[in-house]
Amino acid sequence: MNEREIVLQILSAVLEEGAYSHLLLQAVLDKYAYLDKRQRAFISRLTVGVIERKISLDYILNHYSRTPVKKMKPMIRNSLRMGLYQILYMDAVPDSAACNESVKLIARRYRPLRGFVNGLLRNIARHRQEALSLLKDASPGARYSMPDWLIKEWSKRFGREGCESICKSFLAPRKTCIRVNLARISVEDLIEKLEGEGVAVLRSEDLDYALYISSYDSIKKLPSYREGLFYVQDISSMLVAEKAPVRGGSRVLDVCAAPGGKSLHIAEKLACMDRSEGRVLARDLTEDKVARIRENIARSQMDNISAQVFDARVDDTASHEAYDIVLADLPCSGLGVIGRKPEIRYRLQPKDLSALAGLQTQILSVVKNYVKVQGSLVYSTCTISGQENEENTERFLAENPDFHLISQEQILPDASGRDGFFISVFSRG
């Protein structure tokens, strides 16, 4: 099976069957770990590129094709999307290869349609600049491959320029950001170790323990990763632990913790303060999710954190007023991480925001009980929806007069690759 066949299978699973691109792509790259770095990079680039620019690609295909994309057979439209993406956005791939390989993908099952696929792609290749100009003159939704309802929502909330800035950020190249496990190694020593492993390292200007890395093949193959000396995490996500008022000896509960990045961050902070008293309990809904947390705990070699299966919607009376800090990083629409999970934009509908906001309200109404008097509740999401973020914060304060707001921040996605995040910190009593 060649790289394009692999990509076609992933696209079919994600765009037609509802699979999650980040999970499936990683599983596929693990399965085909024997491929060289160039081949793996090609699979990643083409898969992610087609998913994130699907609306734009379909807009161009519909302009040149008499058959609308939505009426095409799934294999045909995904093969065309792949070919078109290579023509428009992958200069290293010759147009002839993009066309020929797309034809080969459908030759076995849809032999009579080879001429249609070949003719359509070659016609667009001959008019490449015209096709790109179509996008420049198109609506923001087609230009940035974003559903019109989200464009309308963000334009109203952030203004036209703010909306376009967000959309552009989701199409920008993503950098790998890591958090140094300061309980195990210093920043300088990890940089030296990573460079010794052939990794290019760039310091973050935002947090002194955050680094950007590149020029590696598979992160799981790096000895420093396997030794638990760092954790892959976005800067915006790291700020949750930064905002939490962690002190030596703090008892911390993370109610929706998987895969455990924020819980481990706090555990590492505690370990740097004291190695005996402070502890973190990381909970999540299913055995699979908690298994991922435990895997990361074991890799990080932290002994002041444990994981437990528990439904955050269920009131645990034994935990009432038992924790100095309760972290509620709750299920949300994920609009702030579209750059990493591009299919989110196609699956969400406006009604989903209301449903998720309701779920968050329900969980907050339960987990607030676990906060000690003078303790803190940290509410965070990886979205930029006011309905889920600011409105939920206002609702919580109105319904819980014994809590008051310490800080609130909406972080917007930006061109540096930072995710969108929301963080509210409440104090009880």
- Look at residues 193, 169, 172, 173 and name the one whose alpha carbon lies nearest to residue 181: 193
What CA–CA distance (Å, rounded) separates 132 from 59?
A: 11
Q: Are 345 and 396 in contact (CB under 8 A)?
A: no
- Catalytic residue at 332? no
Contact 162, 214 (CB under 8 A): no
Q: Considering 99, 177, 256, 382, which one is annotated as catalytic?
A: 382
Strands 210-214, 403-411: pairing is unpaired
| Best CA proximity match to 424, nearest among 399, 402, 392 | 392
Strand 210-214 and strand 176-180: the pairing is antiparallel
Helix, strand, coil % in the chain, rounded to nearest 5: 55, 15, 30
Could you give the CA distance from residue 7 to residue 40 in angstroms, rounded to a whole number? 10
The token pair at 278 is: 């402070």
- Cα dist. 347→80, 125, 147, 181, 400 in Å? 21, 30, 10, 35, 33
Catalytic positions, written as ranges: 382
